[in-house]
Amino acid sequence: MLGLQDNSIFFAYILSIASALICVLYGILNWNRGADNEADEIRSEQEWENEEEAINETL
C-alpha cells in the first residue's frame, strides 16, 4: 500500500508533507514583510539616479 515497505519510506512521506506545510506557513507569515521600507528604498534609488544623471551631464 503506497509503497510503504519500510519505515524509512513512511518517514520520507511524512517529512516531505511536513516541509511543504512549513514552507506554506512561512510564506503566509512573511507575505508582506519588508514593505515598510519600500518608500525609503524608492527615495534612495531616486536620489542615486539623480546623482548619476548629474555625473553623466558633467562628462
Give this prediction's pTM. 0.54
Q: Is 4:10 a contact under the CB 8 Å cutoff?
A: yes
Torsion sign (Cα): 40, 42, 48, 50: negative
Dig out the grid coordinates for 46 from the structure. 531616486
Q: How confident is the model at residue 36 (pLDDT cuts 50, 70, 90)?
A: confident
Q: Which strand (E) or helix (H) includes residue 48? A: helix 38-58
Q: Is 8:2 a contact under the CB 8 Å cutoff?
A: no
What are the extents of the domains in the chain?
7-58
Which is more confident, 1 or 56?
56
